Amino acid sequence: MIQQNHKSCIKRWTAHFMVLAITVCLFSGCTAKKEEKKETVTPKPTYEKVNQEEETASNLGLWTRAMGSVLIYINDGNPYYFGGYQTTEDNKEAAVRILSQSWNINSRKDLLKQIKILLVQGDRKEYVKEAKEMKSMSKKKLKTAMKQLSGDILIHYETVQYNWKKWKKKGLLAWDMCRISHLVQWGYVAGYLTVREAQALIEPAAKRLQKNFKSWEEVQNNWLDGYCLYADVDRTADGNEYVNRKTVYEKLRDNQTKKNLLYDDKLFTDEIIPLSDISYQTILEEIKK
């Protein structure tokens, strides 16, 4: 039986930079910032075998599993197994619960709408807006404004600056795209999607990653930096969740075998092969009705 460790929704801070001051508004409760919650599961497949239901004629299954690997592993799933967990009744109930409590997704339609939101804007829309606001200020005014901040809100805007300096407009792109992988895999286990639909829906996200990055190392670093901004985590502090996630990625990367790569950089140069009988466009048409 799966036990869920559900934490309360993270408080979200928003702030608008002005000439010499910052007006900070605090909104408590559930917001657009929703952290994926931990599930305790016992994955049954052996570590280096993929789900036989995965469509191997397409490489979208490879994209999906690599994109969602770290969080699946943290949640005691098997990143070599499409969906992360076997589709048992217990795991189905847990997937339904995590989608409902963490994302307010309670149906197939809700799931498809959230995937569309991540494709169109995600957290990167607000990030770019904040980064441009900060960039428009003079160094003196920005320095004055930053001195008025402390705690999580200071970490937040320092992390906005860090992401912009490192990634510019690509900041949080992998963060949003990889969350689509989590949603389609949980959606599959929850019964909202078939395994083929779940693979098909990853195509536009995979194309975005292939266009903007050259390796899984880049993707994972962008995802980790995006997580820090999303959760207002100080990446320089010892023993935080950023460090934990980075360590998990490095463990998965170093333990993969040449025979069965979890992070195959050839995916960034090989053509993305869609499924022959189903497309993400057709599936997403459902939410237009």
What predicted TM-score, i.e. pTM, was given to this entire model? 0.84
Mean pLDDT of 138-156: 95
Q: Write the pLDDT tens digit of every residue in 4-23.
A: 333 333 233 333 332 222 32
Q: What is the largest CA-CA distance in the chain?
A: 60
Phi-psi region of 43 (alpha: psi -120 to 50; beta: other; left: phi over 0): beta
Annotate 109-131 with b (16+ C-beta within 10 A) or e (fewer). ebbbebbbebbeebbbebbbebb
Give the model's pLDDT for residue 48: 60
Sequence-separated (6 or more) residues with CB below 8 Å from residue 220: 70, 174, 249
What pLDDT, on a 0 to 100 scale, did the predictor assign at position 22?
A: 31
Rg, Å, the chain Cα set: 19
Cα–Cα distances (Å) from 81 to 50, 85, 124, 256, in that order, read 5, 7, 29, 14
pLDDT at residue 52, rounded to an integer: 65
pLDDT for 46 equals 54
How do residues 80-138 score in pLDDT, each as one tens digit? 999 999 999 999 999 999 999 999 999 999 999 999 999 999 999 999 999 999 999 99
Of 196 and 31, more confident:
196
Cβ–Cβ under 8 Å, residues 4 and 94: yes
**pLDDT value, residue 42:** 43
Contact 217, 267 (CB under 8 A): no
pLDDT tens-digit series, residues 19-74? 222 323 222 223 334 444 444 444 444 556 666 688 889 999 999 999 999 999 99
pLDDT recorded at residue 247: 96
Least confident of 11-25, 58-72, 189-203, 237-251: 11-25
Please state the rounded mean pLDDT for residues 207-220: 98
Check: CB of residue 190 under 8 Å from CB of residue 93.
no
